[in-house]
């Protein structure tokens, strides 16, 4: 496996189990793993890969006291040759598993997400992987309690670890469970981990078979091929090989083992059974012989579990057989960034909200492909109720092409989509991706769209509120800083925000547009030496002023009509323009016209979230009112500041503390709702 120039780093970790994990081989309290970090050595190409080497000291064929040194030697050789030869390292399955995962992860990084290794319906959030619940060994009472917990969570298949307490007690537990839950309600699997002897195994399998057991894993210790073959030939319930496959890494040996033992099932554990290539060989040989199989993890952290789950989903996309993938979340201080969630009896990639958003995107693409000329969008509702509009697909496509050209976006660039698809901003990100071959990074709409990202997108479109919240968190701010092109729309950018972004290394633009113009028709650079306080129209866009001084837009590619806006504007040389405020956001107080946005701009240093609105006033007609979010009353303090920053007639007459400022779904101030709230409080 060749890759772009890279280097490797090894990070050892010791993971603590949340609760002791008992097997027939003993009790695990902690777990030693080694993470492999693969990074680019080319400053022009950024990627990161993460893999996990997670040998079990009493099972893995490649583990000994010199494991870490051997791993460092293998990584040094791979780094020296700049090539991963999977066949060369097949005798070191846990190391090969970590390296293969790191390389897959790096490829995912180049595509926008280093945690997405095997794209499938699973990683798109369209399908969950059915899994079994796992009940660890313990006392009779403990195992009963754990079983009830799994059933309460909705598992339809439960695996019991047996062999730690006496067999009669374990059999009594199984008898009790079957008396309460039929095989139609719950499928029972048992795992002896080699805990039976060849002598007592046949009798014990007969006893277990009375209770509709799906299968038993590794009833006797591995390495006893003839004894295991006899057991499989005469067993009253299916036998699955697990530990038996460990150390059998040669292809011909694999053939010989399966032909000799003839099991009913094999259990595939990539970190123990030859990494992904070796496990794939086992799978192929089993299929040829009509032997069933399923995949399980082997007490890896979420790094390894994430890789195994994705591999499992990609190679066996339509299986309904429960897999053994519930063991990666057993540790304290686990790798929490992996987007894996267990809901009911399925493992899912992404949260329910994230999956719903991904499905919404796919549904939108389906709508786009329908042979109808228009799609439905909604206005933002910043000055009233949102309105439904029909817009032409061909004009949306032309708008997308204009933006792609203006921003220099290229096929393969990653694009962050974190806007609701009801509105034009969200829909246009999807259309731009389709028109320009961009790779969408969908994030369910949130005020912190970078919170769970691990790589900076090439392109992002955010609201001022999203930028404001992102700048507060160091990790998110760092990713925002590395975003190659950022556009900010849907509201005014404060001087403080502009200052915070001024030294960011990549282009950042404020956009001007509306639903009727199919997103933006003009850009204003807000960082770097070319920062400007005026907008420059995109190619094919002309602007002018109405008799009332509001901006008029003629953009035939996106709207056949000349649009007269409510935005009060100032025209500048070269076709540029500056927005002064909205005509419908003018407050007439005592016969003096005051622009809400102008007042807000001059109050940006207040140090509190606020909005300016107005209420009816018997004497003044309308009275300027300031709504603010705070835990305590700050009216006097704010009044003092406002009198310093504003003119005599602009100072608010009322200061109203609110629990939450009204905003639209896209983050804009909800002006009509703000006025309603103020009127209720003042009258």
Helices 424-436 and 393-407 meet at what angle, rounded to 10? Answer: 70
Contact by Cβ (8 Å): 634, 628: yes
Burial of 34 (0-12, 13-18, 19+ CB in 10 A): buried
* CA separation, residue 422 to residues 220, 370, 375, 377, 381 (Å): 59, 18, 10, 6, 12
Candidates 161, 254, 557, 668; catalytic one: 161
| 73 phi, psi to nearest 5 deg | -65, -40
| Residue 493 DSSP label | P
Burial (Cβ within 10 Å: 0-12, 13-18, ≥19) of residue 110: buried
Question: What does the alpha-carbon distance between residue 486 and residue 526 come to, in Å, rounded to a whole number?
Answer: 10
Cα–Cα dist 377/34, whole Å: 50
441 is written with which tokens? 């990074």
Q: Which two tokens stand for residue 360?
A: 């919404």
CA distances from 280 to 48, 101, 303, 322, 332 (A): 25, 14, 20, 18, 31
Given 116, 150, 159, 269, which residue is catalytic? 269
Name the CA radius of gyration of the chain, rounded.
32
First CA to last CA distance, the chain: 73
183 noted as active-site residue: no
Pick from 185, 130, 186, 193: nearest CA to 158: 186
- Examine the residue annotation and report whether 161 is marked as an active-site residue of this protein: yes
Question: For residue 50, how many other CB atoms are within 10 A of its CB?
Answer: 28
Q: Rounded to whole angstroms, how far apart are CA atoms 375 and 370?
A: 10
DSSP 88-108: TTTT-HHHHHHHHHHHHHHHH
Q: Are 230 and 203 in contact (CB under 8 A)?
A: no
Q: Report DSSP state, residue 649.
A: T
Number of H helices, E strands in the chain: 18, 32
Q: How far is it, in rounded angstroms, from Cα 450 to Cα 467?
A: 10
376-405 in b/e burial notation, b at 16+ Cβ within 10 A? Answer: ebbbbbbbeebeeeebebebbbbbbebbbe
Active site residues per annotation: 161, 269
């Amino acid at each position: 496996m060749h890759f772009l120039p890279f280097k490797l780093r090894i990070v050892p970790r010791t993971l603590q189990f949340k609760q002791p994990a008992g097997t027939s081989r003993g009790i695990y309290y902690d777990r030693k793993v080694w993470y492999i970090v693969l990074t680019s050595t080319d400053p022009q190409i950024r990627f990161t890969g993460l893999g996990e080497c997670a040998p079990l000291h009493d099972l893995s064929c490649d583990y000994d006291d010199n494991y870490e040194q051997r791993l460092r030697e293998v990584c040094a050789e791979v780094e020296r040759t700049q090539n991963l030869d999977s066949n060369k390292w097949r005798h070191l399955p846990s190391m090969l598993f970590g390296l293969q995962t790191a390389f897959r992860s790096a490829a995912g990084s180049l595509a926008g997400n280093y945690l997405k290794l095997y794209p499938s319906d699973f990683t798109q959030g369209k399908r969950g992987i059915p899994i079994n619940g796992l009940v660890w060994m313990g006392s009779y009472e403990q195992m009963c309690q754990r079983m009830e917990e799994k059933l309460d969570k909705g598992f339809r298949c439960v695996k019991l670890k047996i062999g730690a307490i006496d067999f009669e007690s374990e059999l009594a537990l199984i008898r009790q469970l079957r008396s309460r839950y039929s095989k139609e309600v719950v499928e029972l699997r048992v795992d002896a981990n080699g805990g039976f002897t060849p002598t007592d195994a046949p009798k014990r399998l007969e006893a277990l078979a009375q209770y509709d057991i799906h299968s038993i894993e590794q009833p006797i210790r591995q390495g006893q091929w003839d004894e295991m073959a006899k057991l499989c030939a005469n067993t009253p319930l299916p036998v699955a090989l697990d530990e038996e496959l460990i150390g059998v890494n040669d292809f011909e040996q694999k053939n010989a083992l399966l032909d000799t033992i003839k099991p009913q099932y094999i259990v595939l554990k990539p970190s123990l059974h030859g990494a992904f290539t070796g496990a794939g060989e086992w799978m192929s040989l089993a299929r040829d012989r009509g032997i069933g199989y399923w995949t399980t993890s082997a007490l890896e952290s979420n790094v390894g579990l994430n890789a195994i789950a994705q591999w499992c989903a990609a190679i066996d996309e339509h299986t309904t057989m429960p897999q053994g993938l519930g063991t990666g979340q057993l540790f304290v201080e686990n790798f929490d960034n992996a987007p894996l969630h267990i809901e009911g009896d399925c493992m899912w990639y992404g949260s329910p909200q994230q999956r719903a958003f991904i499905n919404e995107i796919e549904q939108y693409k389906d709508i786009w492909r329908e042979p109808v000329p228009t799609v439905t969008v909604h206005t933002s509702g910043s000055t009233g109720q949102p309105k439904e509009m029909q817009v032409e697909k061909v004009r949306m496509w032309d708008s997308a092409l204009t933006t792609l050209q203006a921003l220099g976006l290229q096929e393969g660039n990653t694009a962050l989509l974190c806007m609701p698809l009801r509105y034009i901003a969200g829909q246009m990100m999807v259309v731009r991706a389709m028109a320009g071959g961009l790779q969408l990074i969908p994030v369910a709409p949130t005020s912190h769209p970078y919170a769970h990202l691990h790589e900076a997108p090439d392109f992002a479109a955010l609201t001022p509120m999203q930028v404001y919240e992102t700048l507060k968190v160091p990790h998110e701010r760092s990713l925002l800083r590395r975003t190659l092109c950022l556009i900010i729309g849907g509201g005014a950018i404060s001087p403080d925000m502009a200052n915070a972004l001024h030294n960011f290394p990549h282009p950042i633009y404020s956009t001007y547009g509306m639903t009727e113009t199919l997103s933006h028709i003009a850009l204003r650079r807000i960082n770097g030496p070319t920062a400007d306080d005026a907008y420059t129209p995109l190619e094919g866009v002309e602007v002018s002023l109405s008799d009332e001084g509001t901006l008029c837009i003629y953009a035939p590619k996106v709207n056949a009509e000349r649009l007269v806006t409510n935005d009060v504007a100032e025209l500048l040389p070269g076709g540029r323009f500056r927005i002064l405020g909205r005509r419908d956001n003018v407050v007439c107080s005592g016969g003096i016209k005051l622009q809400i946005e102008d007042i807000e701009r001059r109050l940006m240093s207040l140090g509190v979230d606020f909005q300016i609105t107005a209420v009816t006033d018997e004497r003044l007609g309308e009275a300027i009112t300031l709504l603010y979010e705070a835990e305590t009353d700050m009216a006097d303090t704010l009044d003092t500041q406002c009198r310093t920053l504003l003119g005599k007639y602009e100072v608010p007459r009322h200061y109203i503390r609110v629990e939450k400022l009204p905003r639209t779904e896209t983050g804009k101030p909800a002006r009509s709702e703000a006025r309603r709230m103020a009127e209720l409080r003042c009258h």
